Amino acid sequence: MSRVPGWLGRLGAGLTEMSERLNERRAEVAKERAEAEPADAPPAAAPAPPARRPAPPAGPRPDPAEAVPWGVRVAAEAGWRLLVLAGTVWVLMRVISAVQLVVFAFVIALLVTALLQPTVARLTRRGVPRGPATALTAISGFVVIGLMGWFVTWQVMENIDTLSNQIQNGIDDLRNWLLKSPFHVTDKQINQIAKNLREAIGANADQITSAGLEGVQVIVEALTGILLVFFSTLFLLYDGERIWQWFLKLVPSAARPGVAGAGPRAWRTLTAYVRGTVLVALIDAIFIGIGIYFLDVPMAVPLAVFIFLFSFIPLVGAVASGALAVIVALVTQGVFTAVMTLAVVLAVQQIEGHVLQPFILGRAVRVHPLAVVLTVATGGMVAGIGGAVVAVPLVAVTNTVVGYLRQYSLEVQVQDAPAEPAQEAGEENAEDPAHQE
């Protein structure tokens, strides 16, 4: 037999003996501790359990919007509304740019209608039927405008040769004056400037040629725009009231009373602006034309017509037309005549800005000069000369409409506000017969 079972038995016996000794030793140590401690000592405190985080309160969690600060919420609300408005304006501008010719034709028709509508109303009050009065006024107005354009073109074509010779002589005189002036300009510098101008013209010859080739398309668009303006003006003069009533039907019923009240006020503002601008432009053209005529500036009458047309662009038009008159005087009559022309232009513009504009337009068109400058610049950047022309009347009409709608909303709030409790109690007591007795 093997010895393994015997070895296992001895190992088990040894382990049992060691266990008994360990138990005895534990009992002795416990007995010694019990004898060392006093009888009235409190039992040892059990170790404190580790601290635990408090449980979250029961119930639904708060609204996340309430956790956001109030200022941040206001900024976010205003921000997304501004984004929506900016997107709407961008889409509107894209649509307008796609049909720019139609939009400008209709806006110009509105301006012409505002100018001619008082004449139609005057003829109608004198017994002329509305149809003949409209046709007579519209045709007369467009004939006058066409004659002005024809006169300017005829004067330019008749005097182009003489003007060319005068310009050449004026350039030579200007060159001699610069050589003798105290600015120390040399003949070499003048020749270099002339060379740079020739090189610039030669470098842009392709663009000039392409612009000339596109002239046919420009003429077609101009004729189309003139026809649209003519027919739009006819219908606005004849059926303006019915067109406005049809437009009111498209407005929501809740906003219809306010829009119906703002429309006539906007039209009065537009009419006052157009009639005042025409009168001011006419006065500018007459006085500046008389001044440059007595200064022997060539083509004084066409320049006066240009001044009249450019005056429809506030601020910028007067400066551009005046600069054109000064340049023509400089290259044809010399420096002294140019300085005198500049003095005439500045004097007339000062009278216009400080006397004519406040007296003629009055308080009908209340737009700050800074708003006029920014509006004209924005309109010119967006849509060129046409945008600069229609920008200021658009801002004037918008200012009138916004002011009226604000006042109208305040009046509606006052009418809809509940009566005071004391006033209501007094009215009830006054109506109660028992209280009166």
Q: What values do phi and psi take at 221, rounded to 5?
A: -65, -40
Cα 210–214–218 angle (5° rounding)? 150
Comparing 206 with 263, which gets the higher pLDDT?
Answer: 263
Burial 349-378 (b: 16+ CB within 10 A, else e): beebeeebbeebbeebbebeeeebeebbee
Q: What is the DSSP letter of 214?
A: T
Residue 318's CB: how many other CB atoms inside 10 A?
23
What does the pLDDT read at residue 83?
A: 92
pLDDT at 369 exceeding the cut of 80: no
Report the length, in residues, of the chain. Answer: 437
More reliable by pLDDT, 206 or 116:
116
The token pair that represents 266 in the structure block: 């906007």
| pLDDT tops 50 at residue 15 | yes
CA distance 211 to 203: 14
Give the lowest-confidence range in 193-202, 288-297, 364-373.
Answer: 193-202
Euclidean distance between CA atoms 394 and 365, whole angstroms: 11
Q: In the chain, what percentage of residues exceed pLDDT 90?
A: 1
* 149 pLDDT higher than 70: yes
- Per DSSP, helices labelled H in 311-368 are 316-333, 335-351
119 vs 144: CA distance, rounded Å = 15
Measure the CA–CA gap between 156 and 150, rounded to whole angstroms.
10
**CA atoms 236, 242, 245, 249: torsion sign:** negative
Higher pLDDT, 158 or 246: 246
Residue with the bigger pLDDT between 135 and 423: it is: 135
Cα 19 to Cα 8, 25, 269, distances in angstroms:
17, 10, 115
Q: Above 50 in pLDDT, residue 147?
A: yes
Instruction: Determine what percent of the chain is predicted with pLDDT higher than 70.
Output: 69
Task: Report yes or no: 359 and 371 within 8 Å, Cβ to Cβ.
Answer: no
Element (H, E) at 84: helix 70-98
Residue among 410, 75, 391, 81 at smallest CA distance from 258 = 410
